[in-house]
Structures are given as C-alpha cells and as structure tokens.
Amino acid sequence: MLASRYDHPIAQPHGPTSIVNAAGHSDFVLQHTRAEHGALVPEITLRLATEITPIWQATEAWLAANNVDPPFWAFAWPGGQALARHILDHPACVFGRHVLDFAAGGGIAAIACALGGAATVEAAEIDPLARAAIALNAAACDVAITIPDHDVVGDACRWDLILCGDVCYEAPMTQHILPWLRRMSDHAPVWVADPGRAYLPRDGLSAFASYRVPTSLELEDRTEREVTIYRLGG
C-alpha cells in the first residue's frame, strides 16, 4: 500500500498491480499519462494522470522493483497551480531572477517562471520519475529548466527566489525541509503555497496572495481548495 501524500488518506487500489515496463523513466511517464492542463493554469501543458487508480497501481509495481516514491508528480496539486497562476499573472516577480522550484512535482511553477522570463530556473525533485516528468513537461512548453540530480536541502543559496508548492503534507517532510528553508529565507525570498495542510508552520509566515483552485474528489476531500501564498521569514 502506498503512503498518502496528505493528512487525509487517498483511497488506494486493490487487486493485482499492472506490470511496469523495463523502459526508462521517461517511457514510464509517457505510458501512464497524457498531455493535459491544470484547471487554474490552462497555459501550461503537463503530463498528467487522468485516472488515479491505474498510475497508482503501475507505480506500486515500479516502487517494489526500483524503490521510488508514489506518483505525486502526475497530478497538478493546488499549491503548484496557485504559484504558477500568480507568476503568470505577475511575471515581473520572476523576470531576470534565478529561481528554485523546490519539491517541484511535475514542474508547473518552474515552467511558469521560465515563461515569465526568469534568468534561470531549477526544479528540484528527489524522485527520478518526477525529474523525468519535469523534463518532458519543460520540453512540451519549450522552456529551459535545470533539474538537479540530488536533494538540494543543505545546498548553499544560489537563488533569488525559492518557491514551495504544497510541501507541508507530512511531519517527516516538513521536519526535513523547514530548517533549511528558514536558513534560505535569510538570503532570498521563500514563498510557500499551502492549501491548509496540517503541518504548515504557525509562525514566520506572511500571507500575500490567495487562489481558489478546483480539485478532484479522487485526490482531495472537496472540489475546491483555497490556497494561500506566504512569505517565509516575515
């Protein structure tokens, strides 16, 4: 059984899982997704799963064989959509800047930064399938994005802006990233887009934007999430 990404459980499939082809990560992404658009960001094309159960089953088999994470990259989560919408509507906030999309998922916010004229964009993910999805999505949108092949937590700050979409969904994840993000906020603005997850810190946040994002009952407990974008560190 795959662990839920959220503080409420996502229903998991039962019965036999599909067999994962031995092809590379990009082939896996292409086989289990199709070109779609997030509801709030129709300008950006992403490889997305249109039905949750088949990809959850396929990735469960891949997980057993290759020790990789559940397919969170295959869905346009509310936090990433809100960041992307804000950036596309206010491109001056990224124009000419060096930007990190941290825990980028499929890279929707990173792509928005590239479209908005950022000088450089990095999209950080520890899951190799997510990195493959980001590369495919960037190519589909004809933008250049750098994808580090390591966990950037612990790196020195080399960015002018750090974006975090929907990252406070589990206690271990939050405990791993939050001290580093707080240190980074001494050197560059850190934006955290959160739709009301349980492990969002209660201090050191300053809200500056909010968006209502349509969601799916396959993934959420409601059909719409209100996402607040905060500055971390004041």
Query: Of all residues in the chain, what percent carry a pLDDT higher than 70?
Result: 84
The pair phi, psi for residue 185, each rounded to 5°, is: -65, -15
CA distances to 87, 121, 216 from 148, rounded to whole Å, are 22, 11, 30
Encoded tokens for 184? 């980074």
pLDDT in tens, 16-44: 222 333 348 899 899 889 999 999 999 99
- Closest listed residue to residue 37, CA positions, set 218, 227, 214: 214
Q: At what angle do helices 108-115 and 128-140 cross, to 10 degrees?
A: 30
Topology of domain 78-232 in CATH is: Rossmann fold (3.40.50)
Report long-range pairs for 126-129 (Cβ below 8 Å, ≥24 apart).
Answer: 126/69, 126/150, 126/151, 127/68, 127/69, 127/72, 127/73, 128/25, 128/68, 129/25, 129/28, 129/29, 129/59, 129/62, 129/68, 129/69, 129/71, 129/73
Exposure string of 186-221, with b = 16+ CB inside 10 Å and e = fewer, is eebbbbbbbbebebbeeebbeeebebebebeeebbe
Domain ranges of the chain: 78-232
Q: Provide the pLDDT for residue 3.
A: 32
- Closest listed residue to residue 108, CA positions, set 51, 195, 29, 47: 47
Mean pLDDT of 117-134: 95
pLDDT in tens, 177-193: 999 999 999 999 999 99
pLDDT in tens, 131-178: 999 999 999 999 999 999 999 999 999 999 999 998 887 777 788 899
In three state form, how does the secondary structure of 156-203 look?
CCCCCEEEEECCCCCHHHHHHHHHHHHHHCCCCCEEEEECCCCCCCCC
What does the alpha-carbon distance between residue 177 and residue 162 come to, in Å, rounded to a whole number?
13
Q: Provide the pLDDT for residue 18.
A: 29
